[in-house]
Amino acid sequence: MKVLQIAVGINGGGVGAVLLNFYTHMNHNDVKFDIIIDDLPSVKNGSLNEDAFKKMGCNIFRVTPKSQNLSENIRQVSEIMKNGNYNILHSNMEEWSALYCKLGKKYGIKTRIAHAHLAYVNNPSFVKRMYNSVLKVGLRRYATDFFACSKDAGRYLFGDKILEKSNFRVLPNAIDTKSYSYNPSTRKRIRNEFGIADTTFAVGFVGRLYYQKNPERMLSIFNEICKLHPDSHLVIVGDYKSYAKFDGLKKYAEENGFSDKITYTGLRKDVPDVMQAFDAFVLPSRYEGFGIVYIEAQAAGLMTFGTAKVVPEEVDCTPLMHFIDSQSEDKLWAKQILENSLDYERKDTAKEIENCGFEISVEAKKLQQFYEDKTKGN
């Protein structure tokens, strides 16, 4: 059974991490993933998770990004579909899944899944809003099944009525909870690597640096944390080299006197280990479809902070999750983070995470069964 996955990239977190988590826990004798990526940095430089996918038998296809040449993108994707003999298309491209589902229908792929991963997105331009509305019509016409990482993401991409449809399902962004269980020796090793003292309060941020993740606000919040608790350190895990405004972040930290209290790790394959070094996890996103990293942080036993009415409520599965209003001042964020985290002793939350439906060993079997049932039905 062959499944063609289409994703912007497989570089560390986000959709790439979701696909890797699910495929790692499937039976590779029964299901095979091939993956198309069209993210410009991934196409140029490769992807962090590529070797892991290849070791499990996946083919990785790099195509010309839509933003560079749409017609060439369509030609290359069409060739892959025409020659691949795929049973299922699973597109993770938001509104653009309409295009790939249309191509999938043309080349005889009977099951075509459109998967929503985002919600609360503010489309800045009239032109973008217009073509997104057209693409959403195409989704309803060419997709046979509709997935979303949360109900909010489903409503955003497919409309409010989708929740009532039999061909819609919420697919949790599940994780391997055991890999995040707190380990004091790992904490000590990672802190030594980053030069963080045992007594220093360490704040963690995990995510690619770009508009959605709001890194400028993260630094502003950390600035306020330092004013209240000077012995603090910020660890930013994720791709920063491709962020056009990275120099501005560094300048802000220098001007406010805390540049020596930040560690930029870049992309890491050992995020579960790195999280052991944190004392709190903070990600003040502007929008999220789900935010798997909030579940990961809670699985690591961390006090976890995200933006209210932006991060879906589905991530609220332990008492560790805190939502703070986006309109709250940065010093209020800082105060709440410190008050909840400074004297907190970490606990094992694996059972709570599993009870909320985020244990990957369980959810991967469900997805594989869905693929099998669809293939038999066709």
pLDDT by position in tens, the chain (length 378) = 999 999 988 876 678 888 999 999 999 999 999 999 987 665 555 567 888 999 999 999 999 999 899 999 999 999 999 999 999 999 999 999 999 999 999 999 999 999 999 876 766 666 667 777 888 889 999 999 999 998 988 998 999 999 999 999 999 889 998 899 999 999 999 999 999 999 999 999 998 888 899 999 999 999 999 999 999 999 999 888 888 899 999 999 999 999 999 999 998 989 999 999 999 999 999 988 778 899 999 999 999 999 999 888 889 999 999 999 999 999 999 999 999 999 898 988 988 888 888 999 999 999 999 999 999 977
| Amino acid at residue number 157 | L
pLDDT of residue 263: 97
pLDDT of residue 378: 72
Q: Is the dihedral of CA 287, 291, 297, 298 positive or negative?
A: positive
Strand order in the sheet with 111-116: 59-62, 32-37, 2-7, 88-91, 111-116, 145-148, 168-170
Burial 247-279 (b: 16+ CB within 10 A, else e): eebeebbeeeebeebbbbbebbeebbbbbbbbb
Question: Which residue matches tokens 């410009």?
Answer: 40
Structure tokens at 63: 């195509």
pLDDT of residue 134: 83
Collapsing DSSP states into helix, strand and coil, what is residue 306?
strand
pLDDT of residue 17: 84
